[in-house]
Structure 1
Amino acid sequence: MKNQRRKFIQMGAMLGVGAAFMPLQFCAAPKKEGEAVAESEPIMSKLDSFGIQLYSVKEDMGADAQATMRALAGYGYKQLEGFDGGKGILWGMQPTEFKSLMSEIGTTMVASHANVYENLDAQAAQAAEVGMKYLICPWIGPQKSLDDYKKRADEFNQIGEKLKSHGLRFAYHNHDYSFVSQEGGLGQDILMNNTDPALVDFEMDIYWVHVANAKPAEYLAKYPGRFRLCHVKDAEAGTGDPHERGVLLGAGEIPYADLIKQSKDLGMEYFIVEQERFPTGTPMEAAAANAKYLAALEF
């Protein structure tokens, strides 16, 4: 009796192993005649991490920078992008103090907007010491001619070369003005085509491209690998003053699920929330809502 039981168990184990290696079509239930074969569900992804431009909560930063950054980390932001609010890119903190804060709250300051035309070496040294990747020029203003954009491109190459010596990257953040047709061309194209990819990256402000009717998806595809960072903010549907169309993420018309997937495939690395208009609530409430939206977004 024991031998028969042992043989039964052994046969069952062998059948189990055989089933594991059996081709899937033989294991599946047979299809009825005329029944369509179901397509496999697409594999969805989510952002592993995302950041916020601290200018979105500039009043809170001015009142208490450390408390504000702690709160933002609590909302789920793993990356921060700074700006000089009058206290320097480290907000009055020494590099060791700043690094300690970042470690404590589990965030990384990946970049800072800065005046790259003044005290660049000093700012670069600070940025490098705390582990930033980028210093970013946030504004050059509308240029009078395409040749003036070419001059700015030459300056960007020089700035990029200097930052490279500090182990940093340089990037330029667009507004809508560089996407306005001028002399039969776009200033943004001049900047893209006359900067060295080894020295200059770009941060696409998707909102400003969108309200300039330049189609972010098409522009990303036009220059693959050049946009490494982006500002993520939404625009309400329709037309009107581009400064008055900002809404919370998910409340507007910009198709972020598609754009994020496409941009990642084209080299985008950093997705930075920026909110400049607050139809309802406070800047910190907007920051919390935008973080919740991005954390749940599937693409």
Structure 2
Amino acid sequence: MAALGYRKIELAGLFDQDPARVRSMPDALNLQILGSHINWKRLRDDPDGLIEETRILGAEYMILAWLPVEERQTLAQWEAWIEIINDVAARAHQRGIRFAYHNHEFEFEPIDGVEPYGLLIAGVDRRYVSFELDLYWLTLAGRSPEPYFQAYPGGFPLIHAKDMHLQTTAMVDAGDGRIDFPAVLRQSELAGITHLVAEHDVSDQPFRTLRRSLAYFQSLHSQSDPTQRRK
């Protein structure tokens, strides 16, 4: 990844590896760990251990990326998770770590007429909690990002950038599908977007995806920056 031109990476679990050893590998390649996806059980039961692990990794963000079905059946459960998120995010802030919530599609399925994602936006402590918006899952849920950017200005520093096939719901590399990335990036100031994170959950050629995603992001940057177009 470093050889391809990436400068930051995001982790989706440590796979039982020592966090100091994990950090040593990207450090040696001048790669920064932007964020680390955290386990929901440890968030609930061992938050201080998670915060320390994130600190050892040198990650800027600790990111909650999944809640199992049994933990998100009722609005009361969501409200309890919001309390946990706010508490841990405030403690992480004291250690110089930012907290972000990553969506799938289930956050947009109403419970008793209430959308959990809207409940999250309304309930999280905006001093400490940000969002990592996954555009693929948002699109699968039949939503667009603009209303959420308006509801939580500056709250979306991280964007998971994979695309959806033009005719199906299959995942494809960024730029190959129906998601209007230029339209999203035009709202960067409102949304607070600082990072596009290349991702493809089921790519059969991950390094091809990484190369093509980076090239696409660079082309978008050149289109939006007149100084880059002259180079």
Q: Sort the TM-score into its range (normalised by shorter chain).
A: 0.7 to 0.9
Q: Distance in 2 between matches of 1:283 and 1:203?
A: 21
CA displacement at 1:130 relative to structure 2: 4.4
* CA spacing shift, 1:89–1:267, aligned 2, 3 Å: farther
What residue number does 1:135 align with?
Answer: 62
Please provide the CA RMSD for this pair: 2.1
2: CA distance, partners of 1:215 / 1:270: 19
Matched, 1:108 2:36: no
Amino acid across the alignment from 1:259? V
Distance 2:164 2:158 in 1: 19
Amino acid paired to 2:62: L
Q: CA deviation at 1:94?
A: 6.5
* CA offsets 1:235-263 (integer angstroms, 9 cap, x no match): 01245xx5xx1011111000101212213
User: For the Cα contact (< 8 Å) 2:154–2:189, is it kept in 1?
Assistant: no
Instruction: Report the CA distance between 1:89 and its aligned residue.
Output: 7.1
Which has the larger Rg? Answer: 1
The 5 A counterparts of 1:65-80 are: 72-80=1-9
Gaps of 5+ in 2: 225-231
1:154 and 2:83 matched: yes
Determine if the alignment matches structure 1 residue 295 to structure 2 residue 224. no
- Superposition deviation, residue 157 in structure 1: 0.7
- Alignment counterpart, residue 49 of structure 2, candidates 117, 122, 128: 122
* CA–CA distance in structure 1, aligned partners of residues 60 and 159 of structure 2: 14
Unmatched tracts of structure 1, length 5 or more: 1-71
Q: Which amino acid aligns with 1:137?
A: L
Pick the aligned partner of 1:277 from 196, 202, 213: 202
Post-superposition offset of 1:202: 1.1
Q: Match of 1:122, SS? A: helix
Larger RCO, structures 1/2 (Cα 8 Å, 6+ apart): 1
Q: Is the 8 Å Cα contact of residues 78 and 107 (structure 1) preserved in structure 2?
A: yes
- Aligned-pair distance for 1:125? 2.3
Q: 1:225: how far off? A: 1.5
| Alignment of structure 1 residues 165-180 onto 2, 5 Å | 165-180=94-109
CA distance in 1, matches of 2:63, 2:89: 10
Does the C-alpha gap of structure 1 residues 266 and 250 become closer, same or farther in structure 2, counting only changes over 3 Å? same
Distance 1:89 1:138 in 2: 21
**What per-residue deviation string (whole Å, max 9, x for no partner) do you get for residues 1-38 of structure 1?**
xxxxxxxxxxxxxxxxxxxxxxxxxxxxxxxxxxxxxx
CA distance in 1 between partners of 2:134 and 2:89 (Å): 20
Supply the distance in 1 between the matched residues of 2:171 and 2:133 (Cα, whole angstroms).
Answer: 16
Q: 2:171 aligns with which of 240, 246, 264?
A: 246
TM-score computed with the length of structure 2 as normaliser: 0.85
3-state DSSP class of the match of 2:76? helix
Partner of 1:261: 186
Larger mean CA deviation between 147-156 and 219-228 belongs to 219-228
Shift of 1:272: 0.7
Q: Distance in 2 between matches of 1:89 and 1:117?
A: 21
CA distance in 2, matches of 1:231, 1:160: 21
Aligned length: 217
Distance 2:31 2:145 in 1: 28
- d(CA) in 1 for partners of 2:48, 2:17: 13
Amino acid aligned to 1:296? S
What TM-score comes out, normalization by structure 1 length?
0.67
Counterpart amino acid of 2:137? W
1:93 maps to 21
